[in-house]
A and B are shown apart, each in its own frame.
Chain A
């Protein structure tokens, strides 16, 4: 009887929840990109994202006005101190009890320790510094798990991912869990794993953050996008990173 009840419960859960992608079936956006984009990403002298990494390296060592301190003054050589950091974000900032993504963390550091004004969201400088930090984790597996004290944020992100939104009344999950690999007009629908952010997107002709990408999709379903740094946006980032747990970081990735 107990077994039967359990089986029924499992069956009910499976029917209610949209089909999640099995770990073995998970694929990075890289696998959906065309051969030209892949060649571009793989060649460090042809990957335009590397230009931002170079710029970020300069910023890393630039003293900010205010506390007259650079990132390097506290953190030293980014190749060792920042290795693996991007694979752990978004993370909880214990002092404020807020979830911060990498961009948010960098800006908080700027305010707290460098006495400088935060970079504007999506500005070239913020993207470059984020790309430089995330580049130090290239090749490492994503280590975000939405458990423990992150659980409420993960649950919020999951709820947002599965919630129908906008005039088209579509959830993220309907495209990226249920219909990945098929086409939306001319473009292949990927699985929405944030493996290479900040990403150089050919459509944008520039580097862009995961939040920009999320806003892009939200306007696509004609929903009101979250503001940059909004708790919902960061929770969604957390959910996506946890969903891609164990996948390899590729920053700076090139996507169509």
Chain B
């Protein structure tokens, strides 16, 4: 499991626009670099990030090899109602890491 930092308000007013910031540990190996033996280091990047709010998709992005290690992704959404915000990162090995955070809307 990669280490993850997620910053979102625990509470928000209904209809309020909130910023969500995420950071995940990942080497984001481009596939273009050569290792000590001269052979290319195989590509290994997170290629998709998805965020759902109570099951509804609110943000999704495709990532490409030019993105730096430990990708930081920030975006905005509208605090509609209390519930679960789910974040998932999928890498080149097809593995997905999922994190869940709660938000209270009042």
> A45-B6, A54-B3, A55-B3 known; A205 and B70 CB under 8 Å?
yes
User: A52 → chain B, closest Cβ, in Å?
Assistant: 8
Cβ-Cβ contact count across A and B, 8 Å cutoff: 38
Name A54's closest neighbour in chain B (CB-CB).
B3
Q: Does A23 contact B (CB under 8 A)?
A: no
User: B29 → chain A, closest Cβ, in Å?
Assistant: 10
Q: Does A208 contact B (CB under 8 A)?
A: no
Q: Does B21 contact A (CB under 8 A)?
A: yes
Q: Does B72 contact A (CB under 8 A)?
A: yes
Q: Which of B5, B27, B74 contacts A50 (CB 8 A)?
A: B5
User: A49 → chain B, closest Cβ, in Å?
Assistant: 10
User: B46 → chain A, closest Cβ, in Å?
Assistant: 14
How many residues on the B side are at the interface (Cβ–Cβ under 8 A)?
Answer: 15
How many residues on the A side are at the interface (Cβ–Cβ under 8 A)?
Answer: 12
Q: Does B58 contact A (CB under 8 A)?
A: no
- Main DSSP-derived SS at the A contact region: loop
- In the complex, are the beta carbons of A45 and B70 less than 8 A apart? no
Q: Which of B7, B25, B68, B74 contacts A51 (CB 8 A)?
A: B25
User: B74 → chain A, closest Cβ, in Å?
Assistant: 8
Q: Does A46 contact B (CB under 8 A)?
A: yes
Name B74's closest neighbour in chain A (CB-CB).
A46
C-alpha gap A146/B68 in the complex (Å): 39
- In the complex, are the beta carbons of B69 and A46 less than 8 A apart? no
- In the complex, are the beta carbons of A51 and B72 less than 8 A apart? no
C-alpha gap A51/B23 in the complex (Å): 8
Closest 5 CB pairs of A and B: A45-B7, A205-B69, A48-B70, A51-B25, A45-B5
Kindly list 10 other residue pairs between chains A and B, CB separation below 8 angstroms, not including A45-B21, A51-B25.
A44-B5, A45-B5, A46-B5, A46-B7, A46-B72, A46-B74, A51-B5, A55-B25, A205-B68, A205-B70
